[in-house]
Amino acid sequence: MSERRIVITGIGCVSPLGNDLESTWDAMKAGRSGIARVTHIDPEPYGCQIAGEVKDFKPETYFKNPKDCRRADRYVQLSVAAARMALDHSAIDPEAVDKFRTGVMLGSGIGGLGTLENEHSKIVEGKIGRVSPFLIPMMIANISSGIFSMEFGFGGPNMSIVTACATSNHSIGEAWRIMKFGDADVMIAGGAEASILPCGLAGFGNMKALSTRNDDPQRASRPFDVDRDGFVMGEGAGVVVLETLEHAQKRGAKIYAELIGYGISADAYHLTSPHPEGEGASRCMDMALHHGGVNPEDVQYVNAHGTSTGLGDVCETKAIKRTFKDHAKNGLLVSSTKSMTGHLLGAAGGVELAACLMAIRDGIIPPTINLDNPDPECDLDYVPKVAREAKVDIALSNSFGFGGHNASLLVKRFA
């Protein structure tokens, strides 16, 4: 792998906390929850009736052709919006770049579930001839990458990764790897999800994975707290623009951080449960640190996967201790922004990497809200309840998905 340096010059977010980066970040700093009763569908039949919905979203704003917007599943609309915001944020002129060296990697853990549900209902009703001819291209999980490349004619590397809740981190990490090998100068990478739907609520709910704290939604997502009772589903998208340092400096770009490490591993253990000792997650973090050439004590902040599930929170805590050793309890700050956003599934890593980048920029660690009674097995400094001022030079973002897919991203203040 080459020594090419890869920097982040643009960030785009759509989340339950806000429809852009700064509103999302402002809410995180304030410790506000984006969780409320579900409005997209009637939630009454479901055990979990709460979620982190994106509010007042106007997808047509982000498409050149209104017809393309209408033919896009909600997850694609969210993905294109965040990618467009990231591109605008980077101040890249799409007509000035080498389009064959500009690529797109936008993934989704589940894909067009809403489209699939809507069109399948027609089949169940015997209306096969009414099924949309756009069913397949609207529901497949790779289509947001394809659509965004078509929007701007970006003919560089283009693919989508599907690794459940690790999707965004894998997309960004593999884009980084492509660039390190010299196959692109610019990559737009991240993930999106829109699964607050009957299948999503019923499927995760019947697994007993979701919180049923329906009478107190803003306090339902409570990572590392002994009273947690499952995760809260969210929706949204998080996307970054990666550039080679040479490319960014040549055009005088503002650089938010350097992406210096990427870890990837498998638990090879269980369909949905993490390794009980956090072994796979620890190896993943170790690899990111190794790529970055940094020691554990050089890292100030970890944005944890921290889903608010009993097994997940404990196993990640063990993994952090395994990787960071004494530093884990002696200066390392850890928080879960899922306490505010809920779990954005395939979009989670993109939004959480944005939180790391903003922590570096502003010197503020977003809190883990609702941490009233820490689980005795979760005994790190999770920045409970209130944001904290702290200088951050290096931050790590963790994402772990069903199937044992692990991905960690390591970012460093640019110098």
Question: Which residues have a catalytic role annotated?
Answer: 165, 305, 343
Q: Is 93 helix (H, G, I), strand (E, B) or coil?
A: coil
Pair 83, 106: CB distance under 8 Å? yes
Tokens of 124: 């169940």
HSE value, Cβ hemisphere, 13 Å, CA-based, for 366: 32
Give the count of beta carbons closer than 10 Å to the beta carbon of residue 376. 8
Q: Which of 415, 349, 398 is nearest to 5 (CA)?
A: 415
Q: Which of 81, 78, 93, 77 is nearest to 9 (CA)?
A: 93
CA distances from 319 to 130, 245, 274, 287, 305 (A): 50, 32, 10, 13, 11
Contacts of 346 (CB under 8 A, 6+ apart): 107, 108, 109, 110, 162, 164, 165, 167, 168, 191, 192, 193
333-335 and 301-303 beta bridge pairing: parallel
Query: What type of residue is 320?
Result: I
Q: Which of 133, 136, 73 is nearest to 108 (CA)?
A: 73
Q: What is the 3-state secondary structure (H, E, C) of 271-331?
A: CCCCCCCCHHHHHHHHHHHHHHCCCHHHCCEEECCCCCCHHHHHHHHHHHHHHHHHHHHCC
The one-character DSSP state at 218 is G
The one-character DSSP state at 3 is -
Instruction: Let me know if 362 is exposed, middle or buried by CB neighbors in 10 A (0-12, 13-18, 19+).
Output: middle
186-193 and 236-244 beta bridge pairing: antiparallel
CA distances from 248 to 73, 198, 199, 243 (A): 33, 44, 43, 6
In 36-132 the beta strands, taken as DSSP E runs, fall at 36-37, 50-51, 102-107
